[in-house]
Amino acid sequence: MSSQEDRLSAEEGKDMNKPFATVEDIQRLYRPLSAAEQDRADALLPLVSDEIRVLGRNYGKDIDARIKVDSAYESVVKIVTCDVTFRILRQNTEGDAMSQESQSALGYSWSGTFAVAGGGIANSILNNDLKKLGLLKQKMGSEFIWQGYQESV
């Protein structure tokens, strides 16, 4: 490989690791972030972007290539990246992320629902996000199930 090809390959690799959104995008779409939230978002954005890239590959789609030819798709990817990152930022990092709790006294009953059942980036990317990215589509099929059908009836 020539040095020209090495340089081009390295430049493409840099674009591949570039986050799809910025901290400023999140603040414009949602709300101003505290300094701690900005630091966290800055660390999360490349990870969320790479997770989206890997999911795209798993579904046979090259997210970066599609962004290069479709500016509307680029906006959708940016929105999904911001949505996922903000969803993670909203998660409570101290203590349990309990969203609902109920207790009883004499029946010795307790139940609780956690906001994020496993946490992490992968669990923060919802099926709705995959649908927006065009990775998850509803499939419809049909099958003729009546075996006794005769065309000459």
Answer with the residue of higher pLDDT: 1 or 45: 45
Residues 80, 129 contacting (CB under 8 angstroms): yes
Average pLDDT over the chain, rounded to an integer: 80
- In the prediction, which pLDDT does 140 show? 67
**What is the rounded average pLDDT of the residues 102-126?**
73
Which amino acid makes up residue 59?
A: Y
Residue 116: is its pLDDT beyond 70? no
Tell me the residue length of the chain: 153
State the residue for tokens 């959708």.
76
Report the percent of the chain where pLDDT is more than 90: 47
Separation between Cα atoms, residue 47 and residue 105, nearest integer Å: 45
Helix axes 71-90, 35-58, angle to 10 degrees: 130
DSSP state of 70: -
Q: Tens digit of pLDDT for each residue in 12-69?
A: 455 567 999 999 999 999 999 999 999 999 999 999 999 999 999 999 999 999 999 9
The pTM is what? 0.67
Q: Which residues face 34 on adjacent strands? A: none
